[in-house]
A and B are shown apart, each in its own frame.
Chain A
Amino acid sequence: MATQQELNDLLAAIDSLLSLSAAQILLTLNSNTCERAYEAYVLALCMEAVRRAGGTAVLAGIQTGINPNPVVFRGAPGSMASQNQDFAYANCVLGSKRFELHLDVEYQGSSKALHEIDVSMCDEDHAQAVRTTNATPKTEGNKLLMAFECKFYENAPGVSLGRTFVGLVADCGTLRMAGFVANLPSDKLGQYFSMKSRPHPFLGLTPTDQQSEERFIHNVEQELRKWERS
């Protein structure tokens, strides 16, 4: 057991850490910022998967075109067609396949309900039709190819968000891939997603764990390669 001196040293070390102004800033950041940053990170990993599969992935702004500066992502879910900001997405080409990666865009599901999808892969022709008509993208008929729910957990993960995502995916028709991505590992969520036909779990995915990054990128890359050959 720890001695009193060891306990005092531990308390002093914790106090020293939490006294840092940078630590205080990080601890009081708006959780919306954490969530949005995590989603952008997952989008960036998807872009890397496209490149590893032999394709190209280039950022574009809806107003300014390719290589926007700054890159503007949505601070809250919204319409793919919105021109109210220079919202960015990734233009991707893989063999004969042309598609786009989007953040926080609303799609119409099979039931006609609107769903916000954190990271989505959409057929390019369909996305262009959406922008031209100022409409809403659909999930069915190979319009929505992949969907990822991204969660930056700030509590021990429960299964409720996983359940919600399973429901969302059920309303999306046939997807090439659906994944639940979270910063924290969770046996509960792992068990929940172990059932056949449920989305792939990518739990504990963070830049501090290179293996977790490689596993995610590899899975997406393999699915892209299969799709390219279809």
Chain B
Amino acid sequence: MVLNEDDAAAVNRSILDRLSKLDAHELLNGIDESRRLGIEEIVSEEEIRPERKKGTVHLKQVARTRKRPPSNQELLGIILRLLAERLITLPSLRSGISKRLGTENVLWRVDTEFVTQERIPEVHLKAIVPEGSDVVKSRWDELQILLSNGKSPEEAG
């Protein structure tokens, strides 16, 4: 599926509104930070070299990398990437950890001499795979098929 800039903007708005209603502020901050970091691109010699009447500038005096804001299409790509990290990559860490440690009974606790548990509560490994995570994966795969014009996620790469 090829989205034009207006369509991509509409999809971005829909996702960001949803994330805002969920109060997924860390993810929203990440998207904002990605927008702030922008897209770096190499500028062509023709763009750097000024018109002859203004004199010439030796190209070695200036850097060829320039930053610009992401387009709506690029921002959609970034948003979907970051969603994938939370929805797909994060749950996959559980098996990545448990099969090598030989146990799923893994906890994270703070040293209470320096940090309170109120600030960083105890977390169990199963927290990163909430019930229904398999349905999240299937719906994500369906979304990828839609975006890839009917190709499976494997075919679409």
* A15 lies within 8 A of B18 (CB): yes
Kindly list chain B residues whose C-beta atoms are within 8 Å of the C-beta of A202: none
Q: What's the nearest-Cβ distance from chain B to residue A59, in Å?
A: 6
Report which B residues bind A (CB closer than 8 A). Answer: 1-4, 7, 10-11, 14-15, 18-19, 22-24, 26-27, 29-34, 37, 40, 78, 81-83, 85-97, 100-103, 105-115, 120, 122-123, 125, 127-128, 130-133, 135-136, 139-140, 142-143, 146-147
How many chain A residues have a CB neighbour from B under 8 Å? 65
A129 in the interface (beta carbon within 8 A): no
Distance in angstroms between the alpha carbons of A184 and B64 in the assembled complex: 25
Which one of A11, A44, A70 contacts B100 once the chains associate, using CB atoms below 8 Å? A44
Contact flags A33-73 to B (C-beta < 8 A → 1, else 0): 11011101100110110000000000100000000011111
Q: What's the nearest-Cβ distance from chain B to residue A204, in Å?
A: 10
- 8 more A-B residue pairs beyond the given contacts A37-B93, A154-B30, with a C-beta to C-beta distance below 8 A: A10-B143, A28-B23, A37-B97, A73-B108, A85-B109, A156-B37, A206-B93, A207-B92
With A1-B4, A17-B139, A72-B107 in contact, do A26 and B91 touch (Cβ < 8 Å)?
A: yes
Residue of A nearest to B122 (CB): A75
* A24 lies within 8 A of B37 (CB): no
Query: Which of A76-84, A92-100, A138-146 participates in binding chain B?
Result: A76-84
* A84 lies within 8 A of B92 (CB): no
Distance in angstroms between the alpha carbons of A10 and B79 in the assembled complex: 15
* A26 lies within 8 A of B136 (CB): yes
With A73-B106, A207-B92 in contact, do A156 and B87 touch (Cβ < 8 Å)?
A: no
Distance in angstroms between the alpha carbons of A1 and B6 in the assembled complex: 11
With A6-B1, A22-B135 in contact, do A72 and B109 touch (Cβ < 8 Å)?
A: yes
Distance in angstroms between the alpha carbons of A20 and B122 in the assembled complex: 25
